[in-house]
Amino acid sequence: MNVDLFIAYLQHKFQDDLFTLGLYQCILSFLVACFVAVVAIPVIIKISELKSLMEKPGERRSHTTPTPTFGGIAIYAGILIAYFLWPSIDQTDIYRTNLSVAGMTILFFIGIKDDLVGIDPNKKILFQVLAAMILIFFGELRVDYLYGILGFHHITEIISILLTCFIFIALTNAINLIDGIDGLAGGIATIASATFGGWFLLTNHFTMACLAFTLAGALIGFLRFNFSKTSKIFMGNTGSLIIGFMLAFFAVRFVNLNASFRYEPTAFFNAPIIAIVILIIPIFDTLRVFLVRILAGKSPFSADRNHMHHILLDNGLSHIKATAVLCGISLSNTVLFFLLHSNISNTQSLFILGGLFGLYMVISFMLKMRIMYVSTHPRRRMAVLRRELQSGIFGRRLVDYL
């Protein structure tokens, strides 16, 4: 009996030491990625200015001066350097994480081309599928269990491959679509990657945790300049594509791991719902915009100013305030669901999400109506114009409207 207790003590001690090592690695990876991004971005800004690689203001743009748009290069560099700087503590996911870096690299070069000269949307989707298939087939990463949502549990291999590929494409493009104002895509992605990374760390999936916190660190370094007034830079398609791809990887692996260890006390029986809640803003906004465009008889991929962040800007909010509102909604929904999820079934949670999406649609409609009301009442319109001219952010666009 004493021997058994001693062995149990050693196992417990070893696990504690392993967790401590994993925690230190995540913290160091976060800091290194942040440092690399902070050091790299001034160089990227300087080169962009010298070579005139700037994004000019336009009808759908929310900025008023030419701005460098290659912040994604610094994010990519931060991830690579910080992730590969340390040896992996556990070997469970090392092959998959390396494959994710391979897929991310494909999208990195596609993003650079898109930012420089543009790229056909069909080709962009094709390379997103290629990046996803690397993980699906070589990494055997698939969503093949649906946790009883609407009565579905195990699904066939073909359906799981198609579903997983759809998740990668949808989330990658959802992040790309919300990247319209300062800090929004970066802020949402930071919250999501830190949340996924925290769960990976607490469940001893240290390699996944390290990669997630590496992404969070690189994003924090980028946000320091994205909010700057004197050294501003955008992440561009280069950044949004790799960020969306990595978040899709974390979400699918989160669902996959909870299905594999669903009888463990640390597993969530409603992991797919949690993954949706963590990424609720890009998912809801993309669904709403596509639905509105289809109902209006337009292509769901047509460009307009119908995203929620555009609506908030048109209602007089600054970039920082609009980003704070949407990031606050994302964070509060995540926290509330973690607190309340234990007594709600997956099907019930899905209906609750449907109700929240309906509320999201109603609020966006009311805000759009407010914009129309202001635009048809000269006194109110001039009052809004005066406030925004004083803020120095949107006066130019409103003057053009007059």
Exposed, middle or buried by CB within 10 Å (0-12, 13-18, 19+), for 239? Answer: buried
Half-sphere exposure of 313 (CA within 13 A, CB side): 23
Q: Which residues of 28-52 are buried (b: 16+ CB within 10 A; e: fewer)?
A: bbbebbbbbbbebbeebbeebeeee
| Region 375-384 average pLDDT | 56
Name the least confident of 60-74, 101-115, 183-197: 60-74
The pLDDT of residue 386 is: 55
| Region 282-287 average pLDDT | 94
The pLDDT of residue 248 is: 97
- Domain spans of the chain? 12-401
Task: Report yes or no: 242 and 76 within 8 Å, Cβ to Cβ.
Answer: yes
| Region 187-202 average pLDDT | 95
Q: Residue 16 pLDDT more than 80?
A: no
Closest CA to 26 of 66, 86, 109: 86
Angle between the N-to-C axes of helices 236-260 and 157-178, in degrees from 0 to 180, rounded to the nearest 10: 140
| Region 277-299 average pLDDT | 90
* Region for 148 from its dihedrals, namely left if φ exceeds 0, alpha if ψ lies in -120 to 50, beta otherwise: left
* Strand bridging mode 152-154 / 145-149: antiparallel
| Region 370-392 average pLDDT | 58
Higher pLDDT, 181 or 261: 181
Closest CA to 370 of 317, 320, 291: 317
Whole-model pTM: value is 0.87
The pLDDT of residue 52 is: 81
- Place 380 in a pLDDT band, splitting at 50, 70 and 90: low
Q: Residue 393 pLDDT more than 70?
A: no
SS3 107: helix
Partnered with residue 87 across adjacent β-strands are: none
| Region 262-287 average pLDDT | 87
Q: Which tens digits make up the pLDDT trace of 174-185? A: 999 998 888 999
Structure tokens, 232 = 């501003």
- Place 353 in a pLDDT band, splitting at 50, 70 and 90: very high
Q: Radius of gyration over alpha carbons of the chain, in Å?
A: 22
Q: What is the mean pLDDT of the chain?
A: 85
Task: Report yes or no: 103 and 226 within 8 Å, Cβ to Cβ.
Answer: no
The pLDDT of residue 193 is: 97
Question: Residue with structure tokens 């070997």?
Answer: 91
Name the least confident of 98-112, 158-172, 182-196, 303-317: 303-317
Beta carbons within 10 angstroms of residue 158's beta carbon: 8
The pLDDT of residue 194 is: 96
| Region 75-94 average pLDDT | 89
Q: Which tens digits make up the pLDDT trace of 101-146? A: 999 999 999 999 999 988 988 999 999 999 999 999 999 999 998 8
In degrees, rounded to 5, the angle at the alpha carbon of residue 25 between the alpha carbons of residues 21 and 31 is: 145
Closest CA to 37 of 71, 68, 67, 69: 71
Structure tokens, 322 = 């609009």
Q: Cα(388)–Cα(329) distance, rounded to whole angstroms?
A: 24
Higher pLDDT, 163 or 379: 163
| Region 232-237 average pLDDT | 92
Range with top average pLDDT, 7-11, 240-244, 330-334, 397-401? 240-244
Closest CA to 36 of 207, 217, 183: 217
Q: How many H helices and E strands in the chain?
A: 15, 4
Kindly state the percentage of the chain with pLDDT values over 70: 85
Q: Residue 8 pLDDT more than 70?
A: no
